[in-house]
A and B are shown apart, each in its own frame.
Chain A
Amino acid sequence: DTGVSQDPRHKITKRGQNVTFRCDPISEHNRLYWYRQTLGQGPEFLTYFQNEAQLEKSRLLSDRFSAERPKGSFSTLEIQRTEQGDSAMYLCASSLTVGVGYEQYFGPGTRLTVT
């Protein structure tokens, strides 16, 4: 399977713990995006990378959140001191910067439950 993969698919953690998610994009894609999706809502943009540079961060990305893409390939999203409000599906997507709209390919997501 050469699509976007995310790990883990599910994570249950206690409030106050730190969690880290991983995203492996489609190999030749230079852009990588992180979104958060809660029940009954569309995905909300968090941040994106072009190669290893983080180009934009949403105001949703509080200082407890940090994302990296160290070598322009896979990316990690870390949430420190998790809160119950962090419970959501975290989606990763990747794209090339060519064509109209820079079509994004989404991974299956990591579902986070904070108890």
Chain B
Amino acid sequence: QQQVKQSPQSLIVQKGGISIINCAYENTAFDYFPWYQQFPGKGPALLIAIRPDVSEKKEGRFTISFNKSAKQFSLHIMDSQPGDSATYFCAASMGGGSYIPTFGRGTSLIVHP
């Protein structure tokens, strides 16, 4: 059972465009939703994260939108740059001393110059 569903699997955008990646979760006990960025040959790195008590969080060109009732959240990358080309993973975790993330399958983003 895939607890975090991510789409699209791959995404191609032009430089300066907006990249949008969507995720949906099933377990309402999840209370922490991070996004990770992974470059080839590297481990994932935390990009931005949100708690369900807010609907949006913005850090620079990266914004998370969160819809608790729909159990969906998304990552928006504004003014996408070729350096943003990477694989992006959404994740969800529960607190209570654990915070072990359940990851989505990833989205391969290519930003053309």
Instruction: Tell whether, in the assembled complex, residue A44 and residue B98 are in contact, meaning their CB atoms are under 8 Å apart.
Output: no
- Residues A101 and B34 in contact in the complex (CB < 8 Å), given A4-B43, A33-B100: yes
Instruction: Tell whether, in the assembled complex, residue B99 and residue A101 are in contact, meaning their CB atoms are under 8 Å apart.
Output: yes
Instruction: Tell whether, in the assembled complex, residue A44 and residue B43 are in contact, meaning their CB atoms are under 8 Å apart.
Output: no
Instruction: Tell whether, in the assembled complex, residue B105 and residue A45 are in contact, meaning their CB atoms are under 8 Å apart.
Output: no
CB of A107 within 8 Å of the partner chain:
yes
B108's closest neighbor in chain A, by CB? A40
Residue of B51, B91, B103, B104 near A100 (CB, 8 A) is: B51
Interface residues on B, range: 20 to 34
Residue of B43, B51, B89, B91 near A108 (CB, 8 A) is: B43
A40's closest neighbor in chain B, by CB? B105
Segment 86-113 of B: residues with Cβ below 8 Å from A: 89, 91, 93, 97-106
Chain B residues whose CB sits within 8 angstroms of the CB of A44 once the complex forms: 103
- Residues A101 and B49 in contact in the complex (CB < 8 Å), given A43-B44, A109-B43: yes
Residue of A43, A104, A106, A108 near B41 (CB, 8 A) is: A108
Query: How many angstroms between the C-alpha atoms of A42 and B51 in the bound complex?
Result: 21
CB of B62 within 8 Å of the partner chain:
no
Instruction: Tell whether, in the assembled complex, residue B43 and residue A106 are in contact, meaning their CB atoms are under 8 Å apart.
Output: yes
Chain A nearest Cβ from B47, distance in angstroms: 11
- B42, B43, B99 pick with most chain A CB within 10 angstroms: B43
Chain A nearest Cβ from B110, distance in angstroms: 16
Query: Which residues on A are within 8 Å of B, measured CB to CB?
Result: 4, 33, 40-45, 48, 56, 91, 93, 97, 100-109
